[in-house]
């Protein structure tokens, strides 16, 4: 595992990372498991309000490349069609998925047709709560664009447009100071070292001040003794 990938996996709520020249903040972190299939997901938000999901997928079915990274955008009010009948099947998908019906072999979104590839069903954990999620994955013929459908146990259907990315596409990782597991240790260590250095400097100033006081007192004693000798005529 590369150092960049390790750094990305340490991202948690409040951390920041740069992607395509834009700074994104981690709003949420969650995990998903299904009998060896795993995903880690980070919800990234920009100052403009734009949101992406960064995903790290571990799929044992892909032996040559079991680990893949993706960037996904949730589509609002999409219309999904059966390309063979031109029928809008969006409203039927959630029920079909939750009842484990056979997936549509192909789906069309906008002007792109996607072929069904795989499905998963497992537990999704976020903020201490667990939900059941069923996912249907579709890919375009070039295998560059993914269409992911997620049917949740609470009845919601989410549709995502997804494409592959590389960990090196993400730069300038900035860990949040409030998150120890995401690098606060080094920041705290640096801060603590600065405090110790400052304390040593302050102690040196006290030491120097004491030495100057001793010299000042000795000088006054010599002056007073000399004055007494002068009065006594010695």
Give the DSSP letter string of 72-95: EEEPSS--EEETTTTEE-HHHHHH
Decide: helix, strand or coil at residue 147: strand
Query: Across residues 187-207, what is the average pLDDT?
Result: 33
| pLDDT beyond 50 at 110 | yes
Question: Both 28 and 87 in a single domain?
Answer: yes
Nearest residue to 105 (alpha-carbon basis) of 125, 129, 85, 131:
85
Asked whether residue 177 falls in the same domain as residue 199, the answer is no
Q: Are 110 and 57 part of one and the same domain?
A: yes
| Shared domain check, 162 and 55 | yes
Highest mean pLDDT among 62-66, 164-168, 206-210, 227-231: 164-168
| pLDDT value at residue 220 | 53
CA-CA distance, 83 to 225, in Å (whole number)? Answer: 111
Mean pLDDT of 64-75: 93
| Residue-number span of the structural domain to which 25 is assigned | 3-182
Is 125 a residue whose pLDDT tops 90? no
pLDDT for the residue numbered 181? 43
Q: Are both 205 and 137 inside the same structural domain?
A: no
Q: How many domains does the chain have?
A: 2
Residues 90 and 115 in one domain: yes
Residue 3 has phi, psi (to 5 degrees) of -65, -35
The whole-angstrom separation of Cα 39 and Cα 50 is 22
Task: Note whether 109 and 78 are within 8 A (CB).
Answer: yes
Rounded alpha-carbon distances, angstroms, from residue 105 to 75, 82, 138, 160, 219: 21, 9, 9, 18, 100
Tell me: do 196 and 171 sit in the same domain.
Answer: no
Three-class SS state of 188: helix
Can you tell me the mean pLDDT for 72-99? 94
User: What is the structure's pLDDT at 213?
Assistant: 52
Q: How far apart are CA 91 and CA 121, in angstroms?
A: 20
Do 52 and 91 reside in the same domain of the chain?
yes
Each residue's pLDDT tens digit, 33-55 = 888 889 999 999 999 999 999 99
More confident residue, 148 or 36: 148
Tell me which of 182, 202, 225 is where a domain ends.
182
Q: Does 130 share its domain with 205?
A: no
Three-state secondary structure call for residue 18: strand
| Same domain? 123 vs 218 | no
Q: Are residues 35 and 138 in the same domain?
A: yes
SS3 99: coil
Out of 166, 182, 198, a domain closes at 182
Instruction: Kindly report the average pLDDT of the chain as a whole number.
Output: 80
The pTM score is 0.67
Q: Are residues 65 and 159 in the same domain?
A: yes
Q: Is 210 helix (H, G, I), strand (E, B) or coil?
A: helix
- Domain C-terminal end among 182, 197, 214: 182
- Phi then psi for residue 19, to 5 deg, are -140, 125
Question: Which among 14, 3, 52, 12 is positioned nearest to 31, based on CA atoms?
Answer: 12
Q: What is the mean pLDDT of residues 171-190?
A: 54
Residue 92 pLDDT greater than 70, yes or no: yes
If residue 223 lies in a helix (H) or strand (E), which one and from where to where?
Answer: helix 184-232
| Four-point Cα dihedral 121, 126, 131, 136, nearest 10 | -30
């Amino acid at each position: 595992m590369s150092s960049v990938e390790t750094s990305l996996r340490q991202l948690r709520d409040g951390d920041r990372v740069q992607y395509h020249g834009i700074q994104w903040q981690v709003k949420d972190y969650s995990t998903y498991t299904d009998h060896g299939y795993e995903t880690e997901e980070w919800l990234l938000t920009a100052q403009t309000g734009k949101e992406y999901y960064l995903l790290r997928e571990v799929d044992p079915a892909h032996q040559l490349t079991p680990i893949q990274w993706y960037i996904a955008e949730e589509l609002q009010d999409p219309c999904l069609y059966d390309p063979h009948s031109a029928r809008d099947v969006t409203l039927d998908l959630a029920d079909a998925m939750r009842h484990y019906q056979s997936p549509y072999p192909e789906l069309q979104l906008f002007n792109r047709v996607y072929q069904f590839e795989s499905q998963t069903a497992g537990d999704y954990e976020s903020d201490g709560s667990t939900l059941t999620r069923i996912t249907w994955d579709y890919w375009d013929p070039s295998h560059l664009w993914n269409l992911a459908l997620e049917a949740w146990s609470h009845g919601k259907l989410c549709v995502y447009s997804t494409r592959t990315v590389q960990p090196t596409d993400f730069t300038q990782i900035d860990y949040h100071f409030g998150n120890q597991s995401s690098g606060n240790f080094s920041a705290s260590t640096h801060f603590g070292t600065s405090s110790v250095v400052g304390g040593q400097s302050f102690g040196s100033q006290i030491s120097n001040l004491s030495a100057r006081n001793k010299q000042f007192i000795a000088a006054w004693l010599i002056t007073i003794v000399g004055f007494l000798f002068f009065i006594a005529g010695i």
